[in-house]
Amino acid sequence: MLRYMTSGESHGECLTAILDGMPSGLKVSESAINEELRRRMQGYGRGARMKIESDKAEVLSGLRRSVTIGSPITVMIRNADRSIDRLPVVLNPRPGHADLTGAIKYGLGDIRSVLERASARETAARVSVGAICKLLLSEFGIRITSHVTGIGSVGSRPSMSLSFDKIASLAAKSPVRCADPAASKLMCREIDRAARDCDTLGGTFEVVVTGVPPGLGSYAQWDRRLDSILAGAVMSIQAVKGVGIGAGFELAGIRGSAAHDEIFYSKAKGFFRKTNRSGGIEGGMSNGEDIVIAAAMKPISTLRKPLASVNIKTKKALKATVERSDTCAVPAAGVVAENAVAIEIADAMIIKFGGDSTGEMLRNYKGYKEQVRRS
Ligand code: EPS
């Protein structure tokens, strides 16, 4: 039901996104989009580009007096650095980046034409779409946060016992968005060490969604399974190499009796679980518990001490090109993933509750909540 596309090069005029299928009657403020863009730019270990830019969204269509009217919404983010046509030709592909295969695939003699679009800067446009989707979700009491659980060799204590609000407030206070203050300090030092060695770091993060009603997605068809939709959205973020739902890969190594979340009932809560190893999704559907998505990001592939490569013109062995980049962007990737997830949850909500107007959705949602309460 919801569709979107982004366009724009990292050092071109601007990034844009068109979001189609957003219901009418939703108040959208540019400041709410800008707050998400600001969060994406944060994080210990980011590079010089984040000091140059102060990403701001301009909504060009789809709103009247700041309210959606059911027509496609266009968002534009102007680049401060628009040097695309003055930047030097790139001939030495960076291992791990889109550079080499992109140049071969599109028949491009200058790798610059590949990296301008492959750059993770594109995620600013995606975040602007996600920010609008977050506004829709907040009408239904659905909130999304993220936190970093590992950077390089430093891991944090498992957070499964922390509440959504605790994770959100602790992550917001940490320069690496880690909910464990002691691990947060160690992560910053790990980033300092990598930067000193002209190296980069990856890590792991979790996205948590609270307030989701049971029954989004479906077991009835493979492409309607919510877990696969969310995994695809998070996997599509630049440098993400692994995604798990709930305890994910850990579930493979424990017995069924220890893996599954037992079912309880009380008059006040209805059906509930005391554990959430399934990450809020069973049978491809949300089950009403918090949705938890874990992801692993590889280290950024632009190294200031570059790896071995081959010049695509002369075929001579050389070192890869050094581009300005980040030492670590895991905290930002978590924010991007929140927004990528927001888009898919908003889509699932529109599919379940109808998508022409926000009022219609709220009416249908209320009726369904009653059905759930009586179940
Ligand atoms: C990014 C902008 C880029 C990079 C980074 C993310 O800006 P520049 O290339 O001018 O420094 O900092 O991109 C990458 C990590 C990448 O692999 O391309 C941004 O806005 O997030």
Report DSSP letters for 305-365, one per residue. Answer: SPPEEE-TTT--EEEPPP----S--HHHHHHHHHHHHHHHHHHHHHHHH-SSBHHHHHHHH
The whole-angstrom separation of Cα 287 and Cα 25 is 28
- Ligand 1 pocket check: which of 10, 87, 97, 303 to mutate, most ligand atoms within 8 Å of Cβ? 10
Q: Check if 79 has its Cβ closer than 6 Å to any atom of ligand 1.
A: no
Q: Check if 190 has its Cβ closer than 6 Å to any atom of ligand 1.
A: no
Angle at 58 between CA 54 and CA 61, to 5 degrees: 160
Query: Which atom in ligand 1 lies closest to the alpha carbon of residue 301?
Result: 17
Q: How far is the CA of 325 from the centre of ligand 1 (A)?
A: 6
Q: How far is the CA of 11 from the centre of ligand 1 (A)?
A: 10
Q: How far is the CA of 148 from the centre of ligand 1 (A)?
A: 20
State the pLDDT at residue 124.
Answer: 98
Query: Which atom in ligand 1 lies closest to the alpha carbon of residue 48?
Result: 11
CB neighbours (10 Å) of residue 266? 8
The whole-angstrom separation of Cα 114 and Cα 231 is 25
Nearest CA to ligand 1 atom 21: 121
State the pLDDT at residue 324.
Answer: 85
Could you tell me if 130 and 230 are in contact, meaning their C-beta atoms sit under 8 angstroms apart? no
State the pLDDT at residue 158.
Answer: 64
Nearest CA to ligand 1 atom 3: 121
Q: What is the pLDDT of residues 2-52, one digit of tens each?
A: 999 999 999 999 999 999 999 999 999 999 999 999 999 999 999 998 999
State the pLDDT at residue 159.
Answer: 60
The whole-angstrom separation of Cα 203 and Cα 153 is 8
Q: Check if 225 has its Cβ closer than 6 Å to any atom of ligand 1.
A: no
Angle at 142 between CA 215 and CA 223, to 5 degrees: 40
Residue ranges of the chain whose pLDDT lies below 70: 158-160
Q: Check if 321 has its Cβ closer than 6 Å to any atom of ligand 1.
A: no
Q: How far is the CA of 302 from the centre of ligand 1 (A)?
A: 10
67: CB partners within 8 A, 6+ apart: 24, 25, 26, 27, 28
Query: Which atom in ligand 1 lies closest to the alpha carbon of residue 323?
Result: 9
The whole-angstrom separation of Cα 238 and Cα 203 is 13
**Residue 24, strand partner residues:** 357
Domain spans of the chain?
Answer: 3-374
Q: How far is the CA of 130 from the centre of ligand 1 (A)?
A: 19
**Bridge pairing between strands 317-319 and 308-310:** antiparallel
CATH superfamily of 3-374: Chorismate synthase AroC (3.60.150.10)
Q: What is the pLDDT of residues 224-248, one digit of tens each?
A: 999 999 999 999 999 999 999 999 9
Q: How far is the CA of 121 from the centre of ligand 1 (A)?
A: 5
List alpha helices for 42-98, DSSP H.
Answer: 49-52
Q: How far is the CA of 38 from the centre of ligand 1 (A)?
A: 15
State the pLDDT at residue 59.
Answer: 98
Distances (CA, A) of 262 to 27, 55, 256, 269, 278: 40, 45, 11, 15, 11
Nearest CA to ligand 1 atom 2: 121
Q: Check if 124 has its Cβ closer than 6 Å to any atom of ligand 1.
A: yes
State the pLDDT at residue 355.
Answer: 81
State the pLDDT at residue 248.
Answer: 96
